[in-house]
Structure 1
Amino acid sequence: MAVEDAAPPVLVSAVGGYLDHLTVERGLAANTLTSYRRDLRRYLEFLADRGVASLGEVGADDVAEFLRRLREGDDDHPPLGLNSAGRAVVAVRGLHRFAQREGITSGDPASEVRPPAPPRRLPKAMSLDAVESLLDAVGSADDPRAMRDRALLELLYGTGARISEAIGLDVDDVGRLGGAADSADTTDGVDTDVTVVRFRGKGGKERLVPVGRFARTAIDAYLVRARPVLAASGRGVPALFLNARGGRLTRQGAWAVLRAAADRAGLSEVSPHTLRHSFATHLLDGGADVRVVQELLGHASVTTTQVYTLVTVDRLREVYAASHPRANAVR
């Protein structure tokens, strides 16, 4: 192993043993080993500069300082990005864990030093105009597959469903609450005949989600006029969404539906999850409570849902900056 000659032999031996362990017992790829070797060479240089002669002398403050040096750089090294610095910290943590396990040290000073967290990537949400363009680009309303595609996309956006949940629906998972299927009951102008779908989410957890008027209209049209045509060539499967052979629409088939509509609408980077993000963001923009959105999305924790509140705050900031005469004072 090529390391700095100035590094104490005990440190060089410990790192060599760790790299041999990664090579023989863990079978790490050659490129990964090369990166770890480079990261640990730099770590040995750092420890030698601090007068550390063995891994047993390393403290948590040494490891934390090494991470800081990685991010800020020094006279001999440029600053590292989050991914590169994170990989180096992972290598160092692995070295100290190995040393403790092998009895070289009695403790692990790196256990509390975490790799730098990457910046949180906010979900991308489509504008309402883009959503409408996507839905309008499905195709001829008289074609059975076009009617299916419209119902599928309306459902994805109208309920925030995961694509696996949507294609997993059976016809019996779509029902009505508050009235019969052909009821026109209203209370003070509000339709009380609510369509709901039963989704089976992660871990087999079920949830009921109401379906808005546009999605309900598209699903009703598909069930009455299109699904019987598609089912005629199949084997009587109970799936809500059928392919051209009468079988259950696959995940790949649903992706193809979305891609084709996005291409026709001139939209890029649109995925089923984009529609899910848009559903949540538009609800919060409209004043929905985050815990209600959590239930609709089927998130186990509200913390997962709260990322969408960051999207809406950013949007509010943009609107304020563009509209208020003293917006430049905002920090």
Structure 2
Amino acid sequence: MKHKTKKRRPKNMENNWLTTDELLRLLKAARERSVRDWALLLTGYRHALRAQELSNLTLNDVDLKTRTIRVRRVKGSLETIQPLEKRAGQPLLDEPKALRLWLMERKDDSNFVFTSQKGGSLTTNAIWRLFATVAEEAGITGRSVHALKHSRVTHLLDGGSPINQVKQTAGHRALSSTLRYVHSTDESAAKAARQAEANVF
């Protein structure tokens, strides 16, 4: 009888997110490995996707002409249509380019966006291993692929995005689900305090 290999998860899930510097290091390491790995991790971050949601993503979900992606969530979360975005002056965050290059390069006949060398969709376990490998090459430890979703929510909240909009991006049905990701750093808390004081005085 074979025993299933357990996925290694960080002991402290509250720390399972990436700083912006770590995210860029991760994407740089992924880009140096392959266009597929870059596109996969960037898509996972941009749309706060779980590994299973990345695995399930199909060609019908991605529209490069309208620059949109249909996000089909698991665990009863919301299905949403989100824009494919890029950031001026930061090529590692150019999602339309990453996906376009990967879709031009991929040779698999299946309908899945992210495919393996053997064909067919990358499995959830394969995506976990891919993240672990790229993170190690980027010098990042103690994080799992769920850090992509956690980081997106954290960065949006730290950037001042309204929590209801962040809830929509994350695909959460309940606001309480989004609030579980809230954890202010000393720096972000101080920034918020300065902004609040400026609004008062």
How high is the TM-score relative to the length of structure 1?
Answer: 0.49
- Whether the 8 Å CA contact 1:165–1:201 is kept in 2: the answer is yes
CA distance in 2, matches of 1:289, 1:164: 27
- Give the C-alpha shift of residue 121 in structure 1: 6.6
Alignment of 1:1-331 (within 5 A): 122=14, 124-138=16-30, 140=32, 146-176=34-64, 181=65, 193-203=66-76, 205-213=78-86, 214-224=94-104, 226-228=105-107, 231=108, 236-309=109-182, 311-312=183-184, 314-317=186-189
5+ long unaligned stretches in structure 2: 1-11, 87-93, 195-201
Q: Which has the larger radius of gyration?
A: 1
- Give the C-alpha shift of residue 314 in structure 1: 4.6
CA distance in 2, matches of 1:308, 1:264: 26
| 1:64-110 alpha-carbon deviations (Å, 9 max, x no partner) | xxxxxxxxxxxxxxxxxxxxxxxxxxxxxxxxxxxxxxxxxxxxxxx
- Give the C-alpha shift of residue 205 in structure 1: 4.7
Identity %: 30
1:3 corresponds in structure 2 to none
Which residue identity does 1:150 align to in structure 2?
W
2:199 corresponds in structure 1 to none
CA distance in 1, matches of 2:111, 2:179: 36
Q: How many residues align?
A: 176
Q: Greater helix share, 1 or 2?
A: 1
- Whether the 8 Å CA contact 2:132–2:145 is kept in 1: the answer is no
Which residue identity does 2:68 align to in structure 1?
T
| 1:263-307 alpha-carbon deviations (Å, 9 max, x no partner) | 111110121211111100111111111011111111121011123
CA distance in 2, matches of 1:215, 1:256: 22
1:76 corresponds in structure 2 to none
| 1:194-240 alpha-carbon deviations (Å, 9 max, x no partner) | 3223323323752222222212211111001x212xx1xxxx32111
- Whether the 8 Å CA contact 2:56–2:112 is kept in 1: the answer is yes
SS in structure 2 of the partner of residue 137 of structure 1: helix
Which protein has greater RCO, CA pairs closer than 8 Å, 6+ apart? 2
2:8 corresponds in structure 1 to none
SS in structure 1 of the partner of residue 111 of structure 2: coil
5+ long unaligned stretches in structure 1: 1-119, 182-192, 324-331
- Give the C-alpha shift of residue 317 in structure 1: 3.4
Distance 1:319 1:138, change over 3 A: same
SS in structure 2 of the partner of residue 200 of structure 1: coil
